[in-house]
Structure 1
Amino acid sequence: MRIVVAGWLTYAGDETTCREIITGGAEHIASGRAEDGCVAYNWAIDPLEPGKIQVYEEWESEEALLNHFRGAPYAAMRSHLENWELTGFGVQLYSVSGVEPVYGNDGWPRREIFGVTLGD
């Protein structure tokens, strides 16, 4: 089953602080992306809230994510993030039972998602 890790971290400071964190952490992001079972791994500055970083990861399985948590790249990333003052966080795990495209062949959002159809 696919696993999504999504949420946010806030730091004392502003967008400049977040840019430093992300730029300095590029090697950690790249290491995460290179791990077996990683589908997506990204940190991004929130465009509306200075000091907030949005986190998104997608893993092929629970095992892949658990291996990530036990690996040296994860430990290095945690160590990197400890260089700044964390003021809050909300990061959750989501299990994904199905995956479908958002858009149909016509380029518009689909009217049916996982068997649920929007009425006219």
Structure 2
Amino acid sequence: MRIIVAGWLRYAGDDRTCAEIITTGRDYILAAREERGCVAYTWAVDPIDPGVIQVYEEWESEQDLLRHFIDPAYAQMRDHLGQWEITGFGVQMYGAGSVEPVYGDDGWPRREIFGVTLAQA
């Protein structure tokens, strides 16, 4: 089952704080992307709330995510993020049993999602 990790971290400081956290954390992001089973891994400054870092990860399996949690780079990443004052966070993981594209071959959003159409919703 594919695992999605998504959420946010809020930091104290001015508009440059989150950008600095991401820039100086580049090596941890790259290390995670090289791990077995990593499909996507990114941190981004929220464009509306610059005190927030949005987090998105996608892993091929539960085992891949669990391996990530025990990788030395993960511990280093946590230490890195802890150098700044975190004032709030909300990060969740989701199990995805099915994966389908959002857009059809015509480039428009699909009219059916996992077998459900608007009329059935």
Q: Distance in 1 between matches of 2:71 and 2:104?
A: 39
Q: Distance in 1 between matches of 2:52 and 2:13?
A: 9
CA RMSD, Structure 1 to Structure 2 (Å): 0.7
User: Could you tell me which residue of structure 2 aligns to residue 90 of structure 1?
Assistant: 90
Secondary structure of the equivalent of 1:49?
coil
Tell me the percent identity.
68
Secondary structure of the equivalent of 1:14?
coil
User: Could you tell me which residue of structure 1 aligns to residue 48 of structure 2?
Assistant: 48
Listed as ranges, the gaps of 5+ residues in structure 2 are none
Listed as ranges, the gaps of 5+ residues in structure 1 are none
Query: Scaled by the length of structure 1, what TM-score is found?
Result: 0.97
Residue deviations 1:62-118 (CA, integer Å, cap 9, x gap): 000000000101001001011100000000010001000000011100000000012
Cα drift, residue 50 of structure 1: 2.2
Give the AA of the match of 1:82: G
Cα drift, residue 14 of structure 1: 2.9
User: Could you tell me which residue of structure 2 aligns to residue 59 of structure 1?
Assistant: 59
Secondary structure of the equivalent of 2:18?
helix
